[in-house]
């Protein structure tokens, strides 16, 4: 541990903590508002949303319960662009921003940005609310259009910092336009209002805070908070050994990719003495002629996720801790260099997962106790965008992304995975749909949902098992779109840990037989047919032969793994009562261990 940590002790520790909490509390209020008032299942059930506060100098200051892929990097870049486009914001302004070429994630994430302006007319902060939309007017009924050659074929409406409110009132031109180009426009309108409400709540609270303690004091707090965060980050990085390592993670072949898929290479260099880390994404292919390109924001955020997941929970994530991080990107690279008109429809999900996974695996390679295994990859058929008409309600149209099953948690140095993780982008923050709510809202039935035995990423600490669900329409035909990575390339383990279960997708025909379906694209399901959707598990951390035998027996008792797998993979032998046979286990583990 650093000997000089107390030399950097903050001047007024209680005040620093106080204001940090107050700001985080504001971000949390914003997120709560969005969650409770949204209309699409994505927002009000799955919670695919984020809220944060930025300084007027475009630095990320505070966030709460927000998706890492939405906030760690992106809002800062968007804020810079917004200032370039609207240099003199006024109270009552609000801006809609979803351009992946100017700091956003994929176009389906609509962000509302509101400048917070004090009584003297000075722009002090910007509040930011973002949510994944059920539809954004794409040419296909999906917000993940992987086969789109470019943004034109993708069809997304792009709003590069477009003003949508003036004097606290909607600019109706934009609303009319969206209502004609976005499917199920009332749903979009409700979600738009929820975003506005969240941003206005944030504005209201931040104005009160600034007026209470003084704007200069609040800005001084931001500076102190960044300095504090930087010190925390340096202290964390100094625990890592210096070194340079490269990890690779391969995305499955999709339309528009080479037949062997897309390998993503991430090189991590740690300077432990200086407390710095540099991550290089430049050794990767140029933009792809499909929707898989990753925006600058998403690529950087994925790197940040890999880093922060690797070093521990308590280091604040903001512009201060970022001073210890350098990310190298390359113009026109498919990860981080996407430029117009390359499509970024899958920017948040597919290759972004590869970046985050490779980053945390690379760090795991540096030293025991750091990093993580690979998390599951997406977008599986259990998270499809479904659409159609609902015969129960006068054939009204519906569209939404399901969050029926996601079990992608990665094995960690000292704990098993967080099961209900979507991927590196949410780290478990997204909720799972309720079967009953989905069946109430859409004309579908969920036949089954659960985890699969023997599909965990085996390790000293295990990655999550694969999940499976099966669902189909109860009325008219229903479309389901997905972009399921991990069918070929499983989530990898680290430090001797094994890979987690792969994804898979089938159509169950009326006679009960199964037909494989393409992992990427859309299928139409007719009444009587179901989609069998398997989502990835996560990789394991450490050698499964080092897993505590008691954990293995518990896994067997709970039907997470079979007794056969306990022996073959973990080297644990159970006695007739299901308890550890210690002698036999020691002998078996000795036999299974490679002779060194």
Query: Scanning residues 244 to 283, which ones bind another protein (CB under 8 A)?
Result: none
How many chain residues are in contact with another protein, going by CB under 8 A?
Answer: 101
Nearest to 416 by CA among 560, 238, 259, 595: 560
419: three-class secondary structure by DSSP: coil
Pairing relationship of beta strands 276-280 and 325-328 according to DSSP bridges: parallel
Helix (H, G, I), strand (E, B) or coil at 130: strand
Rounded to a whole number of angstroms, the minimum distance from the CB of residue 152 to another protein is 31
Contact in structure between 90 and 114 (CB atoms under 8 Å):
no
Residues 166-225 that bind another protein (CB under 8 A): 186-187, 189-190, 193-194, 196-198, 200-201, 204-205
Between CA 492 and CA 382 the distance in angstroms is 21
Tell the residue number behind the tokens 């929820």, with chain if given: 194
Smallest separation, CB 117 to another protein (Å): 17
Q: Which is nearer to another protein, 124 or 406 (CB)?
A: 406
Which of 205/329 has CB closer to another protein? 205
Q: Which of 394, 436, 512, 577 contacts another protein by CB under 8 A?
A: 436
Residue 541 contacts residue 373 (beta carbons within 8 Å): yes
10 is an interface residue for another protein by CB under 8 A: yes
Give the separation between CA 161 and CA 346, rounded to whole angstroms. 21
Q: Is 324 in the site for another protein (CB under 8 A)?
A: no
Sheet of 262-271: strand order equals: 243-251, 262-271, 276-280, 325-328
Decide whether 345 or 387 has the Cβ nearer to another protein. Answer: 387
C-alpha closest to that of 353 among 101, 536, 136: 536
Could you say whether residue 577 binds another protein (CB under 8 A)? Answer: no
Q: Considering the complex, state which of residue 396 and residue 593 has its C-beta at the smaller distance from another protein.
A: 396
Q: Which is nearer to another protein, 217 or 586 (CB)?
A: 217
Site track 349-388 with another protein (rule: CB under 8 A), x = hit:
-----------------------x----------------
**Under rule CB under 8 A, which residues in 20-59 are in contact with another protein?**
21-22, 25, 28-29, 32-33, 35-41, 44-45, 47
Among residues 133, 143, 249, 420, the one that binds another protein under rule CB under 8 A: 420
Distance CA 395, CA 10 (A): 62
Q: Scanning residues 64 to 123, which ones bind another protein (CB under 8 A)?
A: 65, 68
Minimum CB separation of residue 434 from another protein in Å reads 5
Q: What is the DSSP string of 179-237?
A: HHHSSSHHHHHHHHHHHHHHHHHHHHHHHHHHHHH-HHHHHHHHHHHHHHHHHHHHHHH
| Residue 466: C-alpha distances to residues 408, 462, 535, 561 (Å) | 7, 12, 6, 12
Q: Does the footprint of another protein cover residue 435 (CB under 8 A)? A: yes
Residue 157 CB, nearest approach to another protein (Å): 21
Q: Does 309 help bind another protein (rule: CB under 8 A)?
A: yes
β pairing state of 504-508 and 530-535: antiparallel
Indicate the residue among 65 and 150 with the shorter CB distance to another protein. 65
By C-beta, is 237 or 338 nearer to another protein? Answer: 237
Instruction: Report cis status (omega within 30 of 0) of the bond before 379.
Output: yes
Q: Choose between 334 and 355: whose C-beta lies nearer to another protein.
A: 355
418 binding another protein? (CB under 8 A): yes
Give the Cα separation of 560 and 53 in Å (integer): 42
Closer residue to another protein (CB): 189 or 506: 189
Positions in 442-471 near another protein (CB under 8 A):
445-451, 461, 464, 470
């Amino acid at each position: 541990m650093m000997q000089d940590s107390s030399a950097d002790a903050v001047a007024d520790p209680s005040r620093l903590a106080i204001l940090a909490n107050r700001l985080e509390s504001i971000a949390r209020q914003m997120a709560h508002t969005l969650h409770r008032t949204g209309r699409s299942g994505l927002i009000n059930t799955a919670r695919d949303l984020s809220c944060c506060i930025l300084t007027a100098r475009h630095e990320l200051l505070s966030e709460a319960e927000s998706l890492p892929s939405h906030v760690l990097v992106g809002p800062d870049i968007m804020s810079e662009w917004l200032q370039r486009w609207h240099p003199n914001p006024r109270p009552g302004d609000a801006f809609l921003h979803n351009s992946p070429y100017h700091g956003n994630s994929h176009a389906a994430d609509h962000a509302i940005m509101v400048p917070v302006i004090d009584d003297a007319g000075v722009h002090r902060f910007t509040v930011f609310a973002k949510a994944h939309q059920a539809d954004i007017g794409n040419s296909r009924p999906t917000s993940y259009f992987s086969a789109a050659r470019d943004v034109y074929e993708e069809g997304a409406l792009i709003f590069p910092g477009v003003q949508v409110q003036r004097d606290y009132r909607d600019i109706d031109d934009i609303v009319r336009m969206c209502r004609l180009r976005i499917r199920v426009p009332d749903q979009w309108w409700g979600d738009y209002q929820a975003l506005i409400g969240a941003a206005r709540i944030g504005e209201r609270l931040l104005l009160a805070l600034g007026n209470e303690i003084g704007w200069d004091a609040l800005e001084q707090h931001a500076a102190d908070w960044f300095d504090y965060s930087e010190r925390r980050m340096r202290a964390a990085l100094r625990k890592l050994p210096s070194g340079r390592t490269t990890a690779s993670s391969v995305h499955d072949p999709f339309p528009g990719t080479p037949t062997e898929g897309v390998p993503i290479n991430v090189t991590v260099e740690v300077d432990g003495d200086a407390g710095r880390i540099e991550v290089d994404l430049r050794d990767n292919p140029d933009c792809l002629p499909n929707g898989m390109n990753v925006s600058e924001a998403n690529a950087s955020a994925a790197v940040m996720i890999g880093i922060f997941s690797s070093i521990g929970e308590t280091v604040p994530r903001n512009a201060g801790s970022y001073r210890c991080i350098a990310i190298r990107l390359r113009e026109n690279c498919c990860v981080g260099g996407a430029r117009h008109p390359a499509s970024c429809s899958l920017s948040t999900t597919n290759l972004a997962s590869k970046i985050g996974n490779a980053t945390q695996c690379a760090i795991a390679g540096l030293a025991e106790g750091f990093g993580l295994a690979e998390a599951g990859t997406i977008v599986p058929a259990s998270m499809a965008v479904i659409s159609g008409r609902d015969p129960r309600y006068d054939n009204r149209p519906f569209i939404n992304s399901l969050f029926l099953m996601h079990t992608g948690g990665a094995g960690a140095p000292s704990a098993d995975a967080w099961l209900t993780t979507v991927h590196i982008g949410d780290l478990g923050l997204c909720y799972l749909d309720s079967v009953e709510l989905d069946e109430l809202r859409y004309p579908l039935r969920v036949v089954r949902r659960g985890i699969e035995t023997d599909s965990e990423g085996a390790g000293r600490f295990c990655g999550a098992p694969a999940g499976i669900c099966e669902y189909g329409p109860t009325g008219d035909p229903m479309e389901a779109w997905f972009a399921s990575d991990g069918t070929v390339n499983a989530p990898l383990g680290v430090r001797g840990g094994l890979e987690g279960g792969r994804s898979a997708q089938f159509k169950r025909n009326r006679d009960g037989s199964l037909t494989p379906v393409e992992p990427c694209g859309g299928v139409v399901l007719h009444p009587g047919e179901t989609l069998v959707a398997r989502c990835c598990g996560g990789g394991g951390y450490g050698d499964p032969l080092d897993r505590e035998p008691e954990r293995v027996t518990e896994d067997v008792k709970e039907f997470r793994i079979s007794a056969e797998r306990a022996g073959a993979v973990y080297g644990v032998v159970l006695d007739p009562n299901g308890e550890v046979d210690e002698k036999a286990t020691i002998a078996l583990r000795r036999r299974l261990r490679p002779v060194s």
